[in-house]
Structure 1
Amino acid sequence: MNRIRLGLIAFLMVWMGSCQKKTEECTLDAELLGEPLELEITRLEDEFFQAKTPLDFAYLLEKYPEFADQFLEQDLYLSQDSLISNLVQVHGDPGLRSLYDSVKVEFEDLSWLETDLENAFRYIRFYFPDFKAPKVYTFVSGFGSDLLVSEDMLVIGLDYFLPSDHSFQPDLPIYIAERYQREYLVPMVVLAISSRYNQTNPQDKTLLSEMIYYGKSYHFVKSILPCTSDQFIIGYTPEEIEECWANEEYIWSHFVENELLYETNPFEIRKYIGEAPFTDAISTKAPGRLGRWMGWNVVDDYRMNQQVDLAVLMGEPDAEKIFRQSEYRPRRPE
């Protein structure tokens, strides 16, 4: 495999070069979307903010036991009375009620979310017939939790997804907070669901294994949401995506020249996989998590070349096999 050896200086010189990624026409499968699927979004924020007395909250905890157990984590409290006392106090806080009012204004209508989730769940069920749509709840947690995704229940903390210019914002680094927009919401949900089907080899502690794991996750989301921009799947800006494609060969050469694919040092792996504003091991102009993006490219090539079903891809735990059979080669800028 011939690779062009380039140092950091050369990389920095070409990094800002541009390459327009081709966009393909996208249409959803009308027949698949016509399959019946029942989904109803229950707006728990309304019920909890309308509650006033301990008796009101006790009723809600009994009405939604899964929510009380998994989201409110009532087992962590000394007693249910202790949880109820906390809920009464929290929901009487003027700041939280103001946040709730803001959410009600911004998300008065959730028909778009219901439609997008229904479509996503239909696609998942097509590839994985055992999939059952979970109960869907929304909530305002005061930035306590953004998403809870289990087999039976999905809880969405709507306060996390207020517009970026809103006065209420979660206490997150800017490069992460920028991804908490409504366009990212359904891709985040699908990404979380992907872990249910993403089989791995727990003995494989290499960077390659991490790259392939995330590559399979992003490929899953793109397969379930085929008309969704890569921006809302991986969380790069369009400009960052364009620059990554323009410099794919140089990014890949960094992994190869530094013999990183079989690296097992978790501190080294984190440089390329972990959340960060940029991948400084390559360049401060390179977006973070570049190892995940490279893994996505490898997985795309594997599925294209091997023509396997999505369920087969997700059930393949051998990262080395996926890498070898992908016959991955960086695309050259046009």
Structure 2
Amino acid sequence: MRAKRRVIFAVAMLTIFAGCGNKRSQDDKVLFGEDKAPKETITIHRFDKALFESGNTPTEQYLLSIEKDFKPMFAANLSDKQYMQVVKAFVQDKQMQSVHKTVVSMYPDLKWLEDDLAKAMSKIRQIRPDSTKTNIYTLILGPAEYSFAYQNRILVYPEYSAISIDLYSMDSLSDNPYYKTMPEYLRASLKKENIAPDYVRTYLQEITFRDIPLSFQNPEATLLDCIIDDGKYSYAVAALLPEYGLNTIFRYTPAQQQWVEANEYNIWTYIIQNQLLYCKDRTKYLSLIAEGPSTKGINNSPARIGNYIGYKIVCEYMDKNPITLDSLFKIDKSEQILKASGYKPKKTTK
């Protein structure tokens, strides 16, 4: 077996604005086409507030009165007496009442989020005029196994979307027994500023996967396939939410973002020298794209560093090929994007 070569990763925290960084060479007209779609307006429906508004002992009459406005948020009809009791018990739970107070304190209103999403959705509508406009709800997810909760923190369906807003209140819920099992590395990416990028990414995945199935769903996908897929979404989110920093889009701390920027050459060298780029054995490259406190075997690294490389490749491709985001998503050959990008990161010095 070929021995893996070791790569020394620079520890220096240098902020390198190479390639597209937080900027794009194309203007909106190139990326999104002619601005013919009407400006989007978004209203977020606060199910998290409505459910607890009746106080600690909600009446059946009150719950039935809100069922019509929040129908998608109920798992069954409230006419089902057994389910009604489940809902009442949820609202009467003292820990959930505490969570509700925390959430309302952190998010008294969501106009800022409505405005940010409206801008992004207006641009999406330019490239996908047939994309479905869904009602957006916020809810309190409550007790759940942490990996399930994290993976389902935002759900987008053709009929509605749901944001588990309690999960974006983790800084204030660390002592709540229902949330104590959430690892610190996930808590760090569940902040107020992560809501809009997470929502836009999830929405894009919903409207594009019909054209191009996500690579991580294909057991034969190579590392290149997976990181190019992810890179497309990161590039699109950065374009749709230009006021958000890259570290927020990647769910990194500023220090972690500096690390991947300073070590881009070394990450790429590690991938190439260990023959991982075209590897189809996911067990060998999963650590480069999976959630975690760090990337296994690479000192001082954050998680998902392979996805950052995918983003940089897409950046280089888009710099050289002025096409719309819709056209980018329709390219189903990752090798085509890599070759046309001419991607070759420069070695940096400390």
Q: Same fold by TM (over 0.5)? A: yes
- Larger RCO: Structure 1 or Structure 2 (Cα < 8 Å, ≥ 6 residues apart)? 2
Q: Secondary structure at the match of 1:11?
A: coil
Instruction: Decide whether the 8 Å contact of 1:39 with 1:133 is kept in 2.
Output: no
Q: Secondary structure at the match of 1:242?
A: helix
1:314 to 321, 329, 332: 329
State which drifts further: 130-139 or 107-116. Answer: 130-139
The letter for the 2-side match of 1:90 is F
Separation in structure 1 between the aligned mates of residue 221 and residue 268 of structure 2, nearest angstrom: 20
Shift of 1:284: 2.5
Q: Does 2:142 align with 1:126? A: no
Deviations 1:123-142 (A, max 9, x none): 21123222343212122222
Deviations 1:225-268 (A, max 9, x none): 12210011111222222222222111111111111011111211
Instruction: Decide whether the 8 Å contact of 2:141 with 2:166 is kept in 1.
Output: yes
1:210 to 223, 226, 230: 226
Q: Does 2:12 align with 1:17? A: yes
Deviations 1:273-310 (A, max 9, x none): 111111123x1211111111111111111121122211
Separation in structure 2 between the aligned mates of residue 60 and residue 156 of structure 1, nearest angstrom: 18
Shift of 1:20: 2.4
Separation in structure 2 between the aligned mates of residue 80 and residue 314 of structure 1, nearest angstrom: 44
The letter for the 2-side match of 1:270 is L
The letter for the 2-side match of 1:263 is C
Separation in structure 2 between the aligned mates of residue 223 and residue 108 of structure 1, nearest angstrom: 28
Q: Secondary structure at the match of 1:83?
A: helix
Q: Secondary structure at the match of 1:156?
A: strand
Q: TM-score, normalised by structure 1?
A: 0.85
In the alignment, which residue of structure 1 is the partner of 2:273?
257
1:177 to 187, 196, 201: 187
CA distance change for structure 1 residues 228 and 269 in 2, over 3 Å: closer, same or farther?
Answer: same
State which drifts further: 184-193 or 118-127. Answer: 118-127
Instruction: Decide whether the 8 Å contact of 2:47 with 2:70 is kept in 1.
Output: no
CA distance change for structure 1 residues 142 and 163 in 2, over 3 Å: closer, same or farther?
Answer: closer
Q: Secondary structure at the match of 1:308?
A: coil
Give 5+ residue unaligned stretches, structure 1. Answer: 1-5
In the alignment, which residue of structure 2 is the partner of 1:330?
345
Q: RMSD of the TM alignment (CA)? A: 2.9
Instruction: Give % identity.
Output: 23
Shift of 1:152: 3.0
Q: Does 2:315 align with 1:300? A: yes
Instruction: Decide whether the 8 Å contact of 2:37 with 2:126 is kept in 1.
Output: no
Shift of 1:96: 0.8
Separation in structure 2 between the aligned mates of residue 317 and residue 128 of structure 1, nearest angstrom: 18
Q: Does 2:154 align with 1:150? A: no
Deviations 1:16-55 (A, max 9, x none): 12322237689x97x9699432321221122211352234
Instruction: Decide whether the 8 Å contact of 1:125 with 1:132 is kept in 2.
Output: no
CA distance change for structure 1 residues 203 and 163 in 2, over 3 Å: closer, same or farther?
Answer: closer
Separation in structure 1 between the aligned mates of residue 183 and residue 35 of structure 2, nearest angstrom: 39
CA distance change for structure 1 residues 270 and 112 in 2, over 3 Å: closer, same or farther?
Answer: same
In the alignment, which residue of structure 1 is the partner of 2:51?
48
Q: Secondary structure at the match of 2:155?
A: strand
In the alignment, which residue of structure 1 is the partner of 2:201?
191
The letter for the 2-side match of 1:40 is T
Separation in structure 1 between the aligned mates of residue 222 and residue 80 of structure 2, nearest angstrom: 44
Equivalent pairs, count: 318
